[in-house]
Amino acid sequence: MHMAPPMQVARVSAETSASAGLDEVCRWLVECQGNPVRLDVPALGQGTRLLLESPMTAPKAVLCALWLLEDVEAGACVLAGHLRFVAHPTGSPIKLSFTGRIATAMRSDLLRQADHAARQLLQLIVEAIERPAGLNQAPVPI
């Protein structure tokens, strides 16, 4: 009997800031909910689809679960965790953070680049949110 190799899992986190407001964040999250967004995260070396859950909101924060899937029909999960958007009490930039896990049984090099991939993912999300509404890339249905 052949046993599959154990899956390696790495905890990842990343943080950045964005000039968007929480209203824009919520609008983008709702637009993308249920409609995967195709993203090319360079550190992953492949196309991926970002799936977002319904955001939970508070007066100065938004929390949302996410899954980053391989952009293939089977769609194995590459990265999973949650996004947290926190408004600065007196200024305009918001803090965006990701905490989660990256898992793959196939590519150990990906595990070494996990934090870098998470930072790239956050940057792509910031760019998508801050893009003027008419220029936003429409979510790509599965």
- Residue pLDDT tens, the chain, 142 long: 555 555 556 788 899 999 988 999 999 999 998 788 888 888 877 788 899 999 999 989 999 999 988 876 667 888 899 999 999 877 778 999 999 987 654 455 666 677 888 899 999 999 999 886 544 444 444 4
Count of beta carbons in the 10 Å neighbourhood of residue 64 = 20
Spell out the SS3 assignment of 63-123: EEEEEEEECCCCCCEEEEEEEEEEECCCCCCEEEEEEEEEEECCCHHHHHCHHHHHHHHHH
Q: Give the containing element (helix H, strand E) for 30.
A: helix 22-32
pTM: 0.79
Identify the pLDDT of residue 104.
58
Q: For residue 59, give the DSSP letter.
A: T
Structural domains of the chain sorted by starting position, each given as residue range(s) with its CATH number in brackets: 8-131 (3.30.530.20)
Q: How far apart are the C-alpha atoms of 129 and 37, rounded to whole Å?
A: 12
